[in-house]
Amino acid sequence: MPWRDQQTSSDAMLRSKLPAGFVVPAQPVQRAAPPSGADWVHEIKHDAYRIIVRRDGECVRLYSRKAIDWTARLPAIAEGAGRLKAKSFTLDGEAVVVGPNGLTDFEALRRRGSGDVAVLYAFDLLEYDGSDLRRMPLETRRATLASLLKQSSVIRLSEHIAAEGRDVFAHACKLGAEGIVSKRLGSAYNSGLCHAWVKVKNPDALAQQRERRARWNR
Catalytic site residue from 17, 45, 87, 150: 45
DSSP states of the chain as a string?
Answer: -BGGGG--HHHHHHHTTS-TT--PPEEEEE-SS---STTEEEEEEPSSEEEEEEEETTEEEEEETT--B-TTT-HHHHHHHHHSS-SEEEEEEEEE-B-TTSSB-HHHHHSTTGGGT-EEEEEEEEEETTEE-TTS-HHHHHHHHHHHHTT-SSEEE--EE-S-HHHHHHHHHHHT-SEEEEEETTPPP-SEEEEEEEEEE-TTSHHHHHHHHHHHT-
Cα gap 202→200, rounded to integer Å: 7
Cα gap 84→73, rounded to integer Å: 20
- Give yes or no: 45 in active site: yes
Closest residue by Cα to residue 141 from 169, 162, 160, 154? 160
Give me the active site residues, please.
45
